[in-house]
Structure 1
Amino acid sequence: MAIPAGGDLYTVATRKAMLRLLPLLCLAYFMSYVDRTNIALAKTHLQADVGISVAAFGLGAGLFFLTYALFEVPSNLIMYRVGPRRWIARIALSWGAVTSLMMFITDDITFYIARIALGAAEAGLYPAMMFMMTRWFAQQDRATAVGFIYLSPTLGLLVGGPLGGALMELDSLAGFHGWQWMFLIEGLITMVIGLVVLVYLPEVPADATWLTAEEAAALSARADQGKDPRGEHSLKGNLGQAFGRPFILLIGVIYFLNQVTMNGVTFNVPSIIESLDVDGSFLIGLLSGVTGIGGIIGVLVMSALFRRSPRESLTIGLLAALPAVIAALFLMVSSPALRIILIGVMAMIIFGTLPIFWSVAMARMSGIVAAAGLAFINTVGLTGGFVGPYLFGLAESGSGDPTSGFSIVIATSLVGGGLAVALRWALRREDRTTTVPAPAPASTERDPEVLP
């Protein structure tokens, strides 16, 4: 994955946008992932200090995604009206405050309440950023732009683990546990980022002071090419376009299965590593960063490969099914080092497929339909964030082994790979019925197998 190079007006403007716009969005998304997943580092400490059981932890970790998904579409519809800058800033300020208040968790109930509130506060962040991609970048550059944004959660896994582990070493300072310091400090950092977004984030190219008027116009013109005019300004009468098209439903279901695996594994990596006889919060956090390393490689490599050979349904199907193979290998080997490496490879595949999901979806919607449709896909997908940790928690409760959830990975991944066949049909149907011409591709953005 590379930032476009060249001298024409659009290319220069795109390069500027990727260097100036994306880092700010990445910073916000980075902290959202740190604040969302730092609970994994606190798992055993919450059990010891507060008495939260393994099953209760799995339920609480998943409840975040339940309210996140519930408020996703309403949040993005409000974003469409008030603008991404103010809404993303509001989201960051509110979820930062909730994160800091999680230092006052005292039992199962307060844990559940905190996770429910955190999901509601953060709802709409990611689809708001995806909506901005439809305003800033042409279709052939969106997989690259989304890939850069997905560096944020992978860096969150890579850096957030050691950061959270280091903060937890503050245990007993001023009478607080280490996990309390972690929640407090990371929440305050997020609130500062929310203020930065409010001041500096441009909503559309014309708002960017670092673009010339000609560059801004070139970006907007290319971003508008090939847009679907259906439901551009009103959702009324266009609910089917936003929520009911077969390709939207199938992408959402495959994304759901992806998130079952991603979050089931991510929320349990620290305890899996601890089960490999690794001691010390910082070392556990450091080794947990293997998911971040794998994710970084995935989003950098997969979007670049997709740009060169964008066979949409085939690519999605292969990437959906591969985690089953990796999970089977994980269960077959006993070497701790090899198991950690396999977790990293699995993260590479899981994260690497995500920019492709969103590129496929964004190519076929625009306007308020895009705001609602992208949020709907995220809603369907992120319910997997509830199901994954919960199923992993149940599996561990029954076996006492945190690796027992890998059997769930095998099942969900095989189903996801199989659904790619139906996705191929749905994309072909969508592209035959739409009246919007496919974006022109020197880079062949549409899959040759789904063209009319």
Structure 2
Amino acid sequence: MADHAPDALGTRTLDRITWRLMPLLGLMYLIAYIDRQNVSYAKLQMVGDLGLSEAAYGLGASLFFVAYFLFEVPANVILERVGARLWFTRIMASWGLVTVLLGFTQGTAMFYILRFLLGAAEAGFFPGVLFALTLWFPQSHRGRMVGWFMIASAVANAIGAAIGGALLDLDGLLGLRGWQWVFLATGLPALLLAVVVFFILPEGPERARWLPAEEKKWLADTLAREAAATAHTEHPNPFRVLLDRRVMILALLYVAFPLAAYGLSYWLPTVVKGFGVSNTVNGFLNVIPWVAVALALWWVPRHAARTGETTWHIAGPALIGAAALTLSVIVPGSALKFACLCVAAAGIFSGQPVFWSLPPTFLRGATAAAGIAAINSVGNLGGFIAQNAVPWIRDRTGSDLTPMLFLAACLLGGVVMVFVAKAVLRRPTPPAEADMRLARR
């Protein structure tokens, strides 16, 4: 459905919420994403220091996603019960502490354990924000808000790229290796921001002291009208949503996006290093793809909201990303290859905010919290696959670019699943679920 402009009160309400809430959430995601991706720069020295192969390091990096998968749904259900402020504070403090500890890794086993703990610590953050947005914004605005939120991931990759190489070049300062500085400098901000979140982030619209009473009423009435006009599934036991075929289809579809995203961002510094540049130049060159991602994340959700079309705003960018990844292997010259990877990055990320506007169209309450977390946790197994498959393909082929063909194929599979998912979502609600809702009325 196309976007309908709210009245003056609605516009004032949404503007106030956006400027009060989104910068803080974006800053939190920026730090979270840097702490996920810092291994891609630490790897350039850490592999040699710990005596790891590329494949062994990839396994350690990917254990983050195993823990994420195991703990994400319970974490989001807890968030729905205890509130975002307390739970996000716990998440940020624990992941910051684990990141700092990674800077003192002594061997392979310790690296594996800490990466697993980092995934367990951060589990529930991204889907928790997606669920929180359903409490603050009407359906027509959520895609754009997710787009703004995800721009933080692009900024994080750009900042991580800029500082990652520079931190590596601090090698020897205070007796620490460059890769140790990468973890220390990226973990401390999470610990500091946890304190800020605890004191600033409101529990919900009704507890926001900066939101006037009339604006709270407008938001509550708008969200209530949307809920009444839309058929939603809400199970007494939120974990039953794991058996919902729509959730399972969306989870399988989403696998393609983290797989391609983490595969590219994890491997991009290594590809650029192959161009023969220094660590610092490598870092600054890697800012460019994430500028392209930020622009695409701004434009695609806005265009989808304006036109009311979702299918091609998810599938189209993925097709462009797959084509660009393929061309990066074929075209001659480092500059053209790098340009293709920039386009690929934009294609991989820019359809995701539109994708995340789909689950709240049929889920709500604790069921929505569990469903969104389930989709994200299963989808993020793509990160586990990518961080093992990409270095394995590199080791077998001896090429830094051949893994891009694997990522392209996965994206094409995701495009096919977009049309499958949309067909499933258009079907009537399963009779058992419809009866359940009628019984509750």
Q: What is the TM-score with the length of structure 2 in the denominator? A: 0.93
Please tell me whether the aligned partners of residues 321 and 346 of structure 2 are also in contact (alpha carbons under 8 angstroms).
no
Query: Match for residue 29 of structure 2?
Result: 29
Query: Match for residue 56 of structure 2?
Result: 56
Query: Match for residue 368 of structure 1?
Result: 366
How big is the shift at 1:229? 7.5
Deviation string 1:16-50 (CA, Å, 9 cap, x unpaired) is 11111011111111000001001101112012222
**2:422 paired with 1:424:** yes
Q: Which moved more, 1:6-15 or 1:194-203?
A: 6-15
Deviation string 1:85-108 (CA, Å, 9 cap, x unpaired) is 100110000000000000111222
Query: Match for residue 267 of structure 1?
Result: 266
List alignment gaps of at least 5 residues for structure 2. 435-441
Percentage of identical aligned residues: 33
The letter of the residue matching 2:186 is E
How big is the shift at 1:258? 1.2
Deviation string 1:214-237 (CA, Å, 9 cap, x unpaired) is 1122123223332267665x642x
Q: Which moved more, 1:175-184 or 1:83-92?
A: 175-184
**2:126 paired with 1:105:** no
Partner SS, residue 103 of structure 2 = helix
Query: Match for residue 438 of structure 2?
Result: none
Please tell me whether the aligned partners of residues 233 and 362 of structure 2 are also in contact (alpha carbons under 8 angstroms).
no
Q: Which moved more, 1:319-328 or 1:67-76?
A: 319-328
How big is the shift at 1:169? 2.4
Query: Alpha carbon RMSD of aligned pairs, Å?
Result: 2.1
Distance 1:364 1:295, change over 3 A: same
Deviation string 1:371-418 (CA, Å, 9 cap, x unpaired) is 100000001110101001110010011122221211211221221111
How big is the shift at 1:70? 1.0
Deviation string 1:106-137 (CA, Å, 9 cap, x unpaired) is 22222111111111110000111011111000
Partner SS, residue 71 of structure 1 = helix
Query: Match for residue 319 of structure 1?
Result: 317
Distance 1:346 1:269 in 2: 11
Distance 1:128 1:117 in 2: 18
Distance 2:310 2:147 in 1: 16
Deviation string 1:310-350 (CA, Å, 9 cap, x unpaired) is 32233323333332211221111122112111111111111
The letter of the residue matching 1:288 is N
Partner SS, residue 128 of structure 2 = helix
Distance 1:223 1:293 in 2: 34
The letter of the residue matching 2:242 is F
Please tell me whether the aligned partners of residues 231 and 368 of structure 1 are also in contact (alpha carbons under 8 angstroms).
no
**2:138 paired with 1:138:** yes
The letter of the residue matching 1:24 is L
Query: Match for residue 69 of structure 1?
Result: 69
Deviation string 1:163-199 (CA, Å, 9 cap, x unpaired) is 2222222211110011112211221111111111111
Query: Match for residue 337 of structure 2?
Result: 339
Distance 1:316 1:96, change over 3 A: same
Question: How do 1:127-276 and structure 2 match up within 5 A?
Answer: 127-227=127-227, 232=234, 235-236=236-237, 239-240=239-240, 242-276=241-275
Partner SS, residue 277 of structure 1 = coil
Partner SS, residue 359 of structure 1 = coil
Query: Match for residue 441 of structure 1?
Result: none
**2:312 paired with 1:309:** no
Partner SS, residue 51 of structure 2 = coil
Query: Match for residue 437 of structure 2?
Result: none
The letter of the residue matching 2:180 is Q
The letter of the residue matching 2:9 is L
Partner SS, residue 402 of structure 1 = coil
Please tell me whether the aligned partners of residues 103 and 180 of structure 1 are also in contact (alpha carbons under 8 angstroms).
yes
Distance 1:295 1:13, change over 3 A: same
Distance 1:209 1:66, change over 3 A: same
How big is the shift at 1:431? 6.6
Deviation string 1:31-72 (CA, Å, 9 cap, x unpaired) is 000010011011120122222211111111211111111100
How big is the shift at 1:292? 1.3
Please tell me whether the aligned partners of residues 5 and 12 of structure 1 are also in contact (alpha carbons under 8 angstroms).
no
Please tell me whether the aligned partners of residues 13 and 219 of structure 1 are also in contact (alpha carbons under 8 angstroms).
yes
Please tell me whether the aligned partners of residues 273 and 279 of structure 2 are also in contact (alpha carbons under 8 angstroms).
no
Partner SS, residue 255 of structure 2 = helix
Distance 1:195 1:290 in 2: 32
Query: Match for residue 12 of structure 2?
Result: 12
Distance 1:291 1:189 in 2: 24
Please tell me whether the aligned partners of residues 96 and 187 of structure 2 are also in contact (alpha carbons under 8 angstroms).
yes
Partner SS, residue 320 of structure 2 = helix
The letter of the residue matching 1:217 is K
Distance 1:390 1:178 in 2: 24
Distance 2:221 2:108 in 1: 52
**2:114 paired with 1:114:** yes
The letter of the residue matching 2:269 is P
Distance 2:168 2:44 in 1: 12
Partner SS, residue 13 of structure 2 = helix
Query: Match for residue 379 of structure 1?
Result: 377
How big is the shift at 1:366? 0.9
How big is the shift at 1:420? 2.2
Q: Which residue of 285, 291, 294 corresponds with 1:293?
A: 291
Partner SS, residue 80 of structure 2 = helix
Q: Which residue of 381, 386, 394 corresponds with 1:396?
A: 394
Distance 2:121 2:289 in 1: 26
Distance 1:86 1:410 in 2: 40
Deviation string 1:119-156 (CA, Å, 9 cap, x unpaired) is 11100001110111110000000001111100111000
Distance 1:363 1:307 in 2: 14
Please tell me whether the aligned partners of residues 256 and 380 of structure 1 are also in contact (alpha carbons under 8 angstroms).
yes
Please tell me whether the aligned partners of residues 294 and 346 of structure 1 are also in contact (alpha carbons under 8 angstroms).
no
Distance 2:65 2:102 in 1: 16
Query: Match for residue 447 of structure 1?
Result: none
Query: Match for residue 328 of structure 2?
Result: 330
Partner SS, residue 362 of structure 2 = coil
